[in-house]
A and B are shown apart, each in its own frame.
Chain A
Amino acid sequence: DGGITQSPKYLFRKEGQNVTLSCEQNLNHDAMYWYRQDPGQGLRLIYYSQIVNDFQKGDIAEGYSVSREKKESFPLTVTSAQKNPTAFYLCASSVLAGPSSYNEQFFGPGTRLTVL
């Protein structure tokens, strides 16, 4: 089965703790993305990566960090510096980034993070 997997589905964190969200894809896509969704709102881009060992900040990167050591994996760490981390986090991937007919994004099922 080809697709994007995110784990865990639900995550609880105490204030002051770092936590890492997993995103894996077996679609052989070059580009991967992390978005945050707050209740009743659209998605906002946190980070994206066009190629292994490279990533760029999105609109709301403060308090987050990422790595892209393997093509299929793009984990997101929510650090203690993120002041309001409770949200729904979505990972996506596309064949390519940039102006191309291959930049259509496909999404994973999401991880709901709650800070206690």
Chain B
Amino acid sequence: KQEVTQIPAALSVPEGENLVLNCSFTDSAIYNLQWFRQDPGKGLTSLLLIQSSQREQTSGRLNASLDKSSGRSTLYIAASQPGDSATYLCAVRDNAGNMLTFGGGTRLMVKP
């Protein structure tokens, strides 16, 4: 059964720092991987989706990479801002394309 792990569980950084969030998964037979942002008490907002054939995706200050063979993805946030404070979740979709398996999330706080 697929398991997804996110490290660290929580992270606090000063404003302006570049940072990396990590996601690992046990079964490399995935269809795609998605990174989400969740603000407290809110739903999920999709940030980036990487197909299994892709190595990375970029959106503004965010860059997500995927190494399927090693079961790893990273989310790179450049020049962090207090508005980036939220929980970041990664999720992998199985090859049947139906099931999303989520990691536990990384709770990020960016201090002014």
Contact = CB atoms under 8 A, between A and B. Distances in A.
B4 A107 contact: no
Nearest to B107: A40
Interface stretch (A13-21, A60-68, A77-85, A95-103): A95-103
The 8 closest A-B pairs by CB, nearest first: A42-B102, A99-B97, A107-B43, A107-B44, A98-B97, A43-B102, A109-B43, A42-B104
Contact of B99 (A6, A42, A58): A58
A103 B104 contact: no
Contacts, number: 65
A99 B41 contact: no
Interface of A: 4, 6, 33, 40-45, 48, 50, 56, 58, 88, 90, 92, 97-101, 103-110, 112
Nearest to A38: B104
Q: Residue among B4, B100, B102, B103 with the most chain A CB within 10 A? A: B100
Contacts of B41: 88, 110, 112
Interface stretch (B14-22, B69-77, B78-86, B88-96): B88-96
Given A40-B9, A58-B99, 6 more contacts: A40-B105, A41-B104, A42-B6, A43-B102, A44-B102, A103-B93
B42 interface: yes
Nearest to B93: A103
26 contacts: A40-B105, A41-B105, A42-B91, A42-B102, A42-B103, A42-B104, A43-B89, A43-B100, A43-B102, A44-B102, A45-B100, A48-B98, A50-B98, A58-B99, A90-B43, A97-B97, A98-B97, A98-B98, A99-B97, A101-B51, A105-B34, A105-B100, A107-B36, A107-B43, A107-B44, A108-B43
